Every structure is written in structure tokens, then in C-alpha cells.
């Protein structure tokens, strides 16, 4: 197994095209062609984690948070990031991260939080726009099912929990083969052809456009395939920030905070004033989620669970919602389990190792 195999498995689950513009997910140190002796999974890449990987026989670290967010102008060992890069190169340890692309997929970081809290009926809190396209193609009626099936198999036609979604309308297509063509219908330099065709329309996610077009062309009988790709502004319910779900049973705010503290292994919870209301609908966002507060309120959430709220941002709850800040690390700590699960499903006979270190830089004096 090579580094590129590990990367392909993770990025098939969380395509890098969905990372935020400020992010730097992907391979940061190493070569995609290196043979993998072992993979260590961690939330952050620290000097201690690098040494743990070396001593446990792992030459690849898969982390949630990237080590490098911006370019290094020098590597002199004067800063911990520089020292980690030096050590990784010295010991031939590849460093890879899947960050906001893993946050933004439906079954990613936020779904893991929902599962830990036992939330049901979950969906993306703030769905992203401009991540969908409509593919329109024209096919002889006799070949429509075969072409449609090929596009479905490549990932086209998904809409929420529904798959194989398409629209078809009938019409007549015309073409005149040139002298150097090899037409499926008609003859080179022949007469104008009139063919009963169908127009097929399917939705395609951004990361699947190339694969769907390839499948379309391979299955289509024509030498030259006519199709249109139209970018859409529709919100994509499979991609976006945060998640909303419901508890199986309504509980008090105090009871929910107790559940939250226990299941998320939080030493303490910073929260806004209790509102004396029952808790049923819960919004979550791993990491720093204050930017989603208004989305949580608009969605009718009773509680918003996240990390990194600043002092003045707590006022923005405005008596409309209970903010529960459990901490950045605490909200994302189970991401290592998510990454391990992705690799185990793809490679059943491969056993990635979870870091045994707690790298939370925030300590509490209680």
C-alpha cells in the first residue's frame, strides 16, 4: 500500500474541492509513491505525535488539522512547525490532513458529534451553494437507459436520500456526418439524419462532474457526444457546515448539559444563561462554530454545541438559544475514530493506529 492509496480513500469520502478557501488540506510532507509501513491517526501533528509515529513504526500521519496553513520562508528549527517538518523529512514520515473538507461532508465530523449525542433525523445546518451542476445530454431513445445507468453508476442523479433521479423529454435530433467520420447512424459524407432522441437531465456534485462525463462518453453510441454542464446556485444538502438533529426524548437544559459533558468528555462547558425551556432540537459544529449561530437560531435549535465562542459572541444568543461551548478539541476529538473507520472500511486487512496522546493545548484548573 502506498501513501496515495490512503489519500485516495480519505478524499473519496471527503473530496478536497469542498475545503474552505483558507484551508490547506492534503499531503504536506512526503511522496504519494512511498510505501506505507503504518498509519498513525491524530487530531493534530505535534512533535510528540511525530515521535509516537516513529516509535510505533508508522511512516504516515493522518491528521484532521493541517500542520501548514501558509508557506514557510525558512526551515531553521526555530519554531515547532519547522522542527516537525525537519523531523518528518529526516525520518521519511508523510504528513497528511483532511480538515474542512471532512467538516463539510454529510457523514463527516459533525455527523460523528451527532452520533455521540444520540441525535436523530440529522441534516446539514448551513448547506453550501454552487456545489452542484446540471448535466444535460441527448441520446437516441434506444440507448437512453444504458447511458442513464452509466451516469448513475458514476454518481449522478443523487438528491438528498434519493438516488437515480433524472428527467427525460423526447425530441428529434439532426446531424450530417462529415467525410472522415465514423457515425453510429448514417454514413460518412451522407445525408442529414433525423433521429428520435431523448434529452436527459441529471444533477451532478462538483467533485463527480469529470467521472460522470467520462461515463457518459463511454456509454454513448455517438462518435461526438453533445452535452451541457450548467452550474447551479442551489443549496447542496450533502455539503455544508454544521448539523442539526433531534434527541430521542425531550429533556431539561440541565440534563442535556450533563449528557453533553459526559459523552463529549468535556471537563467543563461554557454556556449562556439557561432559558428554562425543554431541549429537543440540537445544532452542532465541530471546532470554531460561532459563525453558524444565526443559522442555528433560524433552524429552531434549542441548543448550539460548538467551541471557541468569544466573550461578546455569547451576547448574540439574545435569549433565543442556549450556547454550549465545550471547546475546540473536545468537539473534534472523535474525528480520529472517523478517519480510522474510513480506512478500515476501504482496507479491511489494514489496521491504522490511533494516537494515544492528548494534544489539547487548552488546560483547565477546576
pLDDT, averaged per 10 consecutive residues of the chain (366 residues), comes to 98 97 97 98 98 98 96 92 97 98 97 98 96 97 97 94 95 95 93 96 96 98 96 94 98 98 97 98 98 98 98 98 98 98 96 94 90
Q: Residue 175: which CATH number? A: 3.30.70.120
Q: Domain range spanning residue 183?
A: 130-234
User: Do both 138 and 98 map to the same domain?
Assistant: no
User: Do both 137 and 227 map to the same domain?
Assistant: yes
pLDDT of residue 70: 86
User: Do both 309 and 341 map to the same domain?
Assistant: no
Of the candidates 18, 197, 228, which has an alpha carbon nearest to the alpha carbon of residue 134?
A: 228
User: Do both 112 and 201 map to the same domain?
Assistant: no
User: Do both 230 and 135 map to the same domain?
Assistant: yes
pTM for the whole structure: 0.91
Q: Which of 234, 257, 284 is the last residue of a domain?
A: 234
Give how many domains the chain has, as a whole number. Answer: 3
DSSP 141: G
User: Do both 144 and 81 map to the same domain?
Assistant: no
Residue 365 lies in a domain: no
Residue 319 lies in a domain: yes
pLDDT of residue 320: 98
User: Do both 122 and 144 map to the same domain?
Assistant: no
User: Do both 82 and 226 map to the same domain?
Assistant: no
Contact between 61 and 53 under an 8 Å Cβ cutoff? The reply is: yes
Alpha helices in 91-182 (DSSP H): 100-104, 109-117, 144-153
Q: How many CB atoms lie within 10 A of CB 70?
A: 8
Q: Residue 47: which CATH number? A: 3.40.1390.30
DSSP 191: P
Residue 257 lies in a domain: yes
User: Do both 193 and 281 map to the same domain?
Assistant: no
pLDDT of residue 18: 97
How far is it, in rounded angstroms, from Cα 330 to Cα 311? 19
Residue 151 lies in a domain: yes
User: Do both 58 and 193 map to the same domain?
Assistant: no
pLDDT of residue 359: 87
Contact between 108 and 11 under an 8 Å Cβ cutoff? The reply is: no
Amino acid at each position: 500500500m502506498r501513501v496515495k492509496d490512503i489519500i485516495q480513500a480519505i478524499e473519496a469520502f471527503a473530496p478536497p474541492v469542498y475545503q474552505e478557501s483558507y484551508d490547506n488540506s492534503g499531503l504536506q510532507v512526503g511522496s504519494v509513491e512511498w510505501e506505507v509501513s503504518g498509519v498513525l491517526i491524530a487530531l493534530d501533528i505535534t512533535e510528540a505525535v511525530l515521535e509516537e509515529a516513529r516509535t510505533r513504526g508508522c511512516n504516515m500521519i493522518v491528521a484532521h488539522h493541517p500542520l501548514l496553513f501558509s508557506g514557510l520562508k525558512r526551515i531553521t528549527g526555530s519554531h515547532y512547525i519547522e522542527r516537525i517538518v525537519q523531523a518528518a523529512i529526516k525520518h521519511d514520515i508523510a504528513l497528511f490532513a483532511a480538515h474542512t473538507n471532512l467538516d463539510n461532508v454529510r457523514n463527516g465530523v459533525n455527523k460523528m458529534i451527532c452520533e455521540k449525542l444520540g441525535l436523530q433525523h440529522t441534516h446539514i445546518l448551513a448547506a453550501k451553494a454552487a456545489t452542484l451542476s446540471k448535466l444535460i445530454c441527448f441520446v437516441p431513445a434506444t440507448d437512453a437507459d444504458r447511458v442513464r445507468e452509466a451516469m448513475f453508476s458514476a454518481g449522478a442523479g443523487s438528491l438528498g436520500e434519493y438516488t437515480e433521479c433524472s428527467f427525460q423529454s423526447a425530441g428529434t435530433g439532426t446531424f450530417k456526418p462529415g467525410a472522415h467520420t465514423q457515425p453510429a447512424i448514417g454514413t460518412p459524407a451522407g445525408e442529414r439524419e433525423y433521429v428520435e432522441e431523448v434529452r436527459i437531465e441529471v444533477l451532478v456534485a462538483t467533485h463527480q462532474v469529470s467521472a460522470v462525463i467520462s461515463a457518459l462518453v463511454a456509454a454513448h453510441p455517438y462518435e461526438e457526444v453533445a452535452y451541457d454542464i450548467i452550474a447551479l446556485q442551489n443549496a447542496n444538502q450533502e455539503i455544508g457546515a454544521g448539523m442539526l438533529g433531534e434527541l430521542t426524548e425531550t429533556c431539561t437544559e440541565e440534563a442535556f448539559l450533563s449528557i453533553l459533558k459526559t459523552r463529549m468528555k468535556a471537563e467543563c462547558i461554557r454556556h449562556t444563561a439557561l432559558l428554562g425551556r425543554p431541549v429537543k432540537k440540537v445544532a452542532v459544529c465541530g471546532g470554531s462554530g460561532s459563525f453558524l449561530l444565526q443559522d442555528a437560531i433560524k433552524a429552531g435549535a434549542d441548543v448550539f454545541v460548538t467551541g471557541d465562542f468569544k466573550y461578546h459572541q455569547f451576547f448574540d444568543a439574545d435569549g433565543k438559544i442556549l450556547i454550549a461551548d465545550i471547546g475546540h478539541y473536545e468537539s473534534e476529538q472523535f474525528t480520529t475514530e472517523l478517519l480510522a473507520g474510513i480506512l478500515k472500511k476501504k482496507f479491511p486487512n489494514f489496521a491504522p493506529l490511533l494516537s494515544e496522546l492528548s494534544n489539547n493545548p487548552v488546560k483547565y484548573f477546576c
